[in-house]
Structure 1
């Protein structure tokens, strides 16, 4: 009792001393402990000199946590805490101490060790190995206590190999010819531990590479990547890339590339050519089988040559230009157009685009003395210009046989005499109304002679063509009657473009008090059936009801009476669009003589205009069925208007239209379900809108480059789709 009292007094004295001096001291230090694995362990620590200190335990420099850590007050500035583990494992062994902070200073107790005794634990676990058949190799294993010593015993293929060896242990194997499992056992006085089971793999040739794909494709080179197949338990060190192509193109030599990375660029290819490529990879034993061939077509390039033998034929009504078309090798791509450039004096005129190797131009007089040249254009650009030619009138022969010269002079004199006699008679009679008009003015007028033609020379003018003469339905006639414009109010100009069913011409529409420039769609002269004419007028009837800034609006319909033909030719009168169709405009931005940059914001505006116009049509139950950049027009302010409703259908019930007969259709813009069963909906128009957006982003390229129209259905049914254009941002 007296001893306990003495200890209590000493603690109080120490506490008073700590309070007096402000010094932090440890009244209890953690003690070393040795414990058997699975048992509990507890370390204690007490601090004097602080009010409610935060005592932290550390192990090997790291802070450790205990879910049941408690703080006990032994006095006013005296606190005790414990760190305990209920079931000690090998990883709990180590060096422990406690810490406390005061006024920026850290105070630490003396360290104590927890030693955990139990079965051995592995410091080196056997790993899988891969070997050449029959080749010697080593396996390693190490385990530690406490308690020590630890012995190691090896098992290979389910059988014990040799006897116990001190840890660490290395097992030497002279060679195996097939895969085999192995593990090691570690033993001390507490028991036995068994390692993981490892495998000895036999090295073999690798398998073929997989997922071969094109990363980038340019005119003359390609970059591809692939995924390595099974390595054969031996690291791949290189791959060989083989290229194949048609016999008329140059084939690059096989390319050997170190791996990884599993990718390579192959150069020396030819533009707009079909190639195939495959890959084989090597490990220590040799090459893998080749991957499947991947087929690709190199992008187009500009034509390498200019069109040859440019000639012209000039007449009173037209100028015809002809040249020799370039063959496929010379084009280095798919022909988009031949561009005809003409200049008069020092002024270069707007270039003209033609699909064929000839051009028929109206108004031949404007080309007199002009210099003309032609180049071929692919989707990438235009090739070199041909040698220019000068447009000159045909020479007129002035050679007259000598014996006819005097006869001409005499005839001229006789004519002059007769004219003088008529003038004299007329002056004597002052004035006479002829059946051909008023021939002479009264005496005293300033002019001696004038002539005003009468209305007609006993001829009968053909009656104005009417809708009744067309043989179309009464409903269609009633629909168009109030927009019928007499033909005499139109003055047709040059051709703006041609299509399968007719042409579009520039024209001037004159009314009593004004005139305006318009565009006129004229049906081909060789289309003579009421059915074709009615189809053309139905398009006009659709457009009559349209009223939207992004849908082209109808001005009127006129009928052109043809001599000797029963039916007149319908002419649909539309607003004149200064910049023409969107597809040509996009092409000129890349292929024109003076290419211009179209900002992304402008392209997005084009798409928004088309989307707004198509939304309007959809809300009016109209399926367009032929939406494409070529059928969108650009006005003076670069506003896009959806146009060309030749294939459009109005839906009166349901939400689809099924085409009953096969006709020529733009397959690269048609949705998959429409190709398969002729089913058209607003959703199929959305598909066409997607293709049109692709046209806009590629500045007028043809969709699905390298895929023929006849191959489109099979291409889509396999899951293929349009690829993202190289310069199109992922968010677009």
Structure 2
């Protein structure tokens, strides 16, 4: 109760204070001559220490010399002083005090400044047509009044002083001219700003024309040029569908501003050219230069048509119509073939061409096939499903008719044959050259046969082949003798991959109590010289001594004997790599039916595995010469093993190898000095390792996208290098970039690369556990060296091309160091290994037994 009374007493006191608060003095109106001092004052009663604020035209006036005079204990007076009054000091002034959220104001007062005239409206610039009349206006005020105005046009006085405001009527001018006005009163004369009369002309063409948000819709933006002293009203857009042919589309007129326009309905993956002109009151500007641009790719808009099949017991062939360019909406990545058998979806296939061939046609009975075209963006709609049946309805009807005719004819033949047989049986038995066919007739007829000699429909079994039959040198025979495996222990399966010198097949190697799944590298059947066979077996000889977890190991060598052939076919037996080659694995992470994410930790681990394998090979004095993601294999533990030593060379003297003869080499992975002089060292393998790192971070894209093989040397010699892939950390790019120094000895060693990558991997945050990876195996249609079997599943700013430096560099080596000359547009992924199938034919056909056509070529391998 006492607290409540205390609150009430305080409220009453505050209320009394508020009601007793009042201004006892308000500022008075002042008329001050310009340059003199002005002083305003006000007083307030009712507060012990008031905060009095001066206001001018609604804004607070900040003063550093405001004075307070205490008249009584609760009565205060303050002043606001302007020491030298100018025209801008003229205005309405008052005082304000805030008390418990309420604002109390004094009466207002005005300061009026006497002096030379003050311009309220100065003459503005004018834009007009030649000879067209126009008006100029000038307004000035005092005090003191009156104020008179005099006009000057082109340096010439126009008339005499007239009262303000003043309007000057100009009948017209033909050239640009200056003007101003003078204002005078009893205090003196003021001069306005100088204005200009501009003559309107045609505008200049737009500049800074560029395209943004290119897709089906495109936003065109530009900067207007000189407007010709007249506002731009519209702009006209001209567009053609090709920068070369200039096939014009209808002109589009748009209102401006804003200086941008969205164009809809553009075709994907198409070239366009655009230019713009703008209009003012006088007319149209010239057109801007043509701007060429290309719309990005998109998924195909149509499904492949006319999907048909041809089925035999041995083979299923499918064909379909290729999509037209306007339907494709991009570059064809592959045709995707999906199929369903027994109500269950099967692993899809990818083909570059519009046909497919499968061996073993019987396994596809009652299967349903559909095909879709795919670009780098994705796959388009599916074709209508086609059911694979043994024969069409028409063929079935024809076969039935032929069956009835055959049946009737057969019955007649059997009847005649039975009649003749009955006659012969009743007559007598007859001795043949093979024995007695019939015995003499008795009470019971028994048919017997006694063979005089036997024969076989098959030829004699071919003898087991030996290394002596190959015609290779003795040293190579000695190295391979203890790893020779009899052919009878191998059971070859389907093809896993194919290459320049042969194919890789799935196989089973018979052991003592079991069999082991292996991969067998089979030399191409039409390579029949001892030198070619020796080249294949040298790879096996290298691998015989390899014992490292990141280098593929040799299981053995077998020889396949061929009828009527002098030389057997060598077969190199290698471990079966469950997850196939690294390139395909990376590619399927982006383009597979079920794409999956590979963490940075996983990608760096892949690089570490490769570096460790290459360090081991270099310690064995082996130059690989063909290091690439396609030649690195993934085993069941997701460990990368370096493989495919078809181009490898052992260094017996010195530390380099010089390529002496013409051979097929992977241009985009070859070091600069190797391209120039055919010299290969461990440092050139380091260069290839850097390119392989780039492949890994780019998830299987082709190196140097947009640069042809024939242009690679010129591209590199200018100092250009592979650009930083998207989502690639700068630290990783710096490591791969160091591998591409033009001076070989400036490149890091594999031992140093291992240390760098190991430190980088250790510093990465741990990866959360994820679902097992899945990807589509292309069942032998991938150029993988040692591919996975069918249906296999598995559980800042980029650095620019800058000169490289290193300690100990010779003067002549510095000639290699050239600065960057620009960047290259990245235009897509690596599609080399999504290949068209090869039909397996007899020896008389156009294809070899392993299904590798003579015309098969790798677009990134050229003769050097």
**Which of 449, 460, 464 in structure 2 is aligned with 1:461?**
464
Q: Which residue of structure 2 aligns with residue 147 of structure 1?
A: 144
| Contact 2:523–2:533, Cα closer than 8 Å, also in 1 | no
Which residue number corresponds to residue 585 of structure 2?
581
Q: Distance in 2 between matches of 1:101 and 1:81?
A: 15
Kindly indicate whether the alpha-carbon contact (under 8 Å) linking 1:493 and 1:506 is maintained by their aligned counterparts in 2. Answer: yes
Superposition deviation, residue 508 in structure 1: 4.7
Distance 1:458 1:152, change over 3 A: closer
Q: CA–CA distance in 1 between the matches of 2:18 and 2:292?
A: 88
Pair 1:624–1:576, CA change in 2 (3 A): farther
Aligned to 1:50: 47
Matched residue SS, 1:276? strand
What CA distance in whole angstroms lies between the structure 2 residues aligned with 1:108 and 1:687?
80
8 Å contact kept, 1:703–1:722: no
Matched position secondary structure for 2:208:
strand
What SS is found at the alignment partner of 2:209? strand
Structure 2 vs 1, CA of residues 494 and 44 (structure 1 numbering), >3 Å: closer, same or farther?
same
1:124 aligns with 2:112: no
Match in the other structure for 1:367: 364
Which sections of structure 2, spanning at least 5 residues, go unmatched? 1-15, 425-429, 440-445, 616-623, 724-820, 830-864
Provide, for residues 554-581 of structure 1, a one-character-per-residue CA deviation record: whole Å limited to 9, x for no partner.
Answer: 3645445354448835455352128963
Say if 2:222 is the partner of 1:229: no
Residues in 2 aligned to 1:41 and 1:676: alpha-carbon distance in whole angstroms: 90
Shift of 1:113: 2.5
After TM superposition, the structure 1 stretch with the greater mean CA deviation from structure 2, 90-99 or 568-577, is: 568-577
Q: Which residue of 1 is the match for residue 379 of structure 2? A: 381
| Contact preservation (8 Å) 2:609, 2:641 | no
Cα distance in 2 for residues equivalent to 1:128 and 1:625: 74
Instruction: Render the CA deviation track for 1:53-100: whole Å, top value 9, x for unaligned.
Output: 212212223221101223344453343332223332211122222233
Once the two structures are TM-superposed, the CA of residue 709 in structure 1 deviates from its matched residue by 7.5
Instruction: Assess if the C-alpha contact under 8 Å between 1:323 and 1:358 holds in 2.
Output: yes
Distance in 2, matches of 1:271 and 1:101, equals 68
Q: Which has the higher contact order (CA 8 A, sep 6+)?
A: 2
The answer on whether the counterparts of 1:98 and 1:108 sit within 8 Å (CA) in structure 2 is yes
- CA separation of 1:70/1:181 partners in 2, compared to 1, >3 Å: closer, same or farther? same
Whole-Å separation in 2 of the counterparts to 1:261 and 1:275: 23
Matches within 5 A, 1:517-536: 529=532, 533=536
Please list, as runs of the form range in 1=range in 2, the aligned pairs for 1:89-238 lying within 5 A after superposition. Answer: 89-218=86-215, 222-238=218-234
> What secondary structure does 1:582 align onto?
helix
Which string of whole-angstrom CA distances, capped at 9 and with x for unpartnered residues, describes residues 411-448 of structure 1? 9997899997889x9xxxxxxxxxx9xxxxxxxxxxxx
Q: Shift of residue 538 of structure 1?
A: 11
State the alpha-carbon separation in 1 of the partners of residues 666 and 355 from structure 2.
Answer: 26
Assess if the C-alpha contact under 8 Å between 1:340 and 1:351 holds in 2.
yes
Q: Partner residue of 1:263?
A: 260
Q: Which residue of 2 aligns with 1:302?
A: 300
Q: Secondary structure at the match of 1:581?
A: helix
Structure 2: how far apart are the matches of 1:287 and 1:23? 74
- Greater percentage in strand: 1
Are the counterparts in 2 of residues 35 and 41 from structure 1 also a CA contact under 8 Å?
A: yes
Distance 2:124 2:34 in 1: 27
User: Bigger CA drift: 222-231 or 325-334?
Assistant: 325-334
Q: Is the Cα–Cα contact under 8 Å of residues 149 and 164 in structure 2 kept in the other structure? A: yes
d(CA) in 2 for partners of 1:292 and 1:513?
Answer: 79
In structure 1, the residue corresponding to 2:606 is in which secondary structure? helix
Q: Distance in 1 between matches of 2:533 and 2:552?
A: 21
Shift of residue 142 of structure 1? 1.9
Provide the rounded CA distance (Å) in 2 between the counterparts of 1:674 and 1:365.
50
Given the superposition, is the C-alpha separation of residues 459 and 24 from structure 1 closer, same or farther in structure 2, using an over 3 Å criterion? closer
Q: Distance in 2 between matches of 1:97 and 1:613?
A: 80
**TM-score normalised by length of structure 2:** 0.59
Alignment of 1:174-573 (within 5 A): 174-218=171-215, 222-245=218-241, 252-298=249-295, 299-302=297-300, 304=302, 306=304, 308=306, 310=308, 312=310, 314=312, 316=314, 319=316, 321=318, 325=322, 328=325, 331-344=328-341, 349-367=346-364, 370=367, 374=371, 376-379=373-376, 380-382=378-380, 384-385=383-384, 390-391=389-390, 460-463=463-466, 491-498=491-498, 503=503, 505-508=505-508, 529=532, 533=536, 545=548, 554=552, 556=554, 558-563=556-561, 564-565=566-567, 568-570=570-572, 572-573=574-575
Which stretches in structure 1 are left out of the alignment for 5+ residues?
A: 1-18, 426-435, 437-456, 548-552, 590-595, 726-732
Does the 8 Å CA contact 2:517/2:576 hold for their aligned counterparts?
Answer: no
**Equivalent residue of 2:552, what SS?**
coil
Is the alpha carbon distance of 1:183 and 1:325 closer, same or farther for their aligned partners in structure 2, counting shifts above 3 Å? same
CA contact (8 A) 1:119 1:187 kept: yes
Q: Is the 8 A contact 2:577 2:636 kept in 1?
A: no
Aligned partner of residue 236 in structure 2, secondary structure: strand
**Partner deviation per Cα, 1:314-365 (whole Å, 9 max, x = no partner):** 475x555556655646655432223344555655543322223443433444
- Secondary structure at the counterpart of residue 361 of structure 1: strand
Structure 2 residue aligned with 1:61: 58
Contact kept? 1:369, 1:392, Cα under 8 Å: no
CA drift at 1:248: 10
Secondary structure in 2 matching 1:134: coil
SS in 2 for 1:583: helix
Q: Give per-residue Cα distances to partners, 1:72-131, cap 9 Å, x unaligned.
A: 444533433322233322111222222333455444334333222233332223322322
Q: How much has 1:633 moved relative to structure 2?
A: 8.0
Q: By how many angstroms is 1:687 displaced? A: 8.1
For the structure 1 residues 708 and 202, does the alpha-carbon distance in structure 2 shift closer, same or farther, using more than 3 Å as the test? farther
Contact 1:370 1:391 survives alignment (8 Å): no
Distance change (3 Å), C-alpha of 1:566 and 1:205:
farther
Q: 1:391 to 1:282 in 2, by over 3 A?
A: farther
User: Structure 1 195/613 Cα, relative in aligned 2: closer, same or farther at 3 Å?
Assistant: farther
Aligned in 2, Cα 1:141/1:110: closer, same or farther, shift over 3 Å?
A: same
Calculate the aligned-residue CA RMSD, in Å: 5.8
Aligned counterpart, 1:730? none
TM-score, normalization by structure 1 = 0.68
Q: Deviations over 1:576-613 (max 9, x none)?
A: 12896332453343xxxxxx5x5xxx54x355532443
Q: Secondary structure at the match of 2:213?
A: strand
Conserved? CA contact 2:486–2:559, under 8 Å:
no
**Residue 445 of structure 1: aligned partner:** none
Match of 1:613 in 2: 606
